[in-house]
A and B are shown apart, each in its own frame.
Chain A
């Protein structure tokens, strides 16, 4: 029990002292997750809107594929992106392997299905009177589209926050595509895995506390958005 309490006390000291290694992992995590969530929203939200709003042949199959992608193991995505970005891979010339942007590519593949599925659901579940109201107020097709997107904005933000939560806490993609290189691609989760393996619990606990703080913050944001969306 003592080693746990000691680890906890040392972790607090590391955080209070602004330990460079700890904050490097935090910064790298936020940078890769930030790039990734921006790409997820830019790509996933329009695609989600498309499958939630329009009837087209194969729509049901697309929904099933997106829902299946929600359960994709992160190590499989990591392996796929590793093969794509490795020197022999089709995107090897980009030199993204073991870089933060390379990690962001993998994390984006993880987050897109979440944003797509939640956006599609939000659009599908929008009040049936909304479209009728917009038409009877004189909106044309394009105006109906944008107004509907605006009316479901809290649900869209909810999708973004949920995807961010998944991205920031995953380990498989970051480990395989980033390579867990100290000061360069070591994230909170890969550092925790490494330091725990080495028996250095203090750094692991410190980073774990940061991750919990991020999770708490995200949940507070989620709760606020849910309250606003529910009105």
Chain B
């Protein structure tokens, strides 16, 4: 399996609010961030909750508070499966 993103890449998270389980929190939907590191390969949580195991790259993605909340000078880092991400 080869990863789609590299460290330093700019990415955008999905803005879809699915009606199934997901590990992409509301506050981080449709936001732009930077790939900080790879975070292993793990079964996609959305599918695993439905009994389907599909291993996928996970990335540590860092967002500025400004991007997430429109205010603040801190950063927030999340682990995001490749399915949650697209090119900026």
Q: Do chains A and B interact in one complex?
A: no
Residues of B within 8 A of A (CB): none
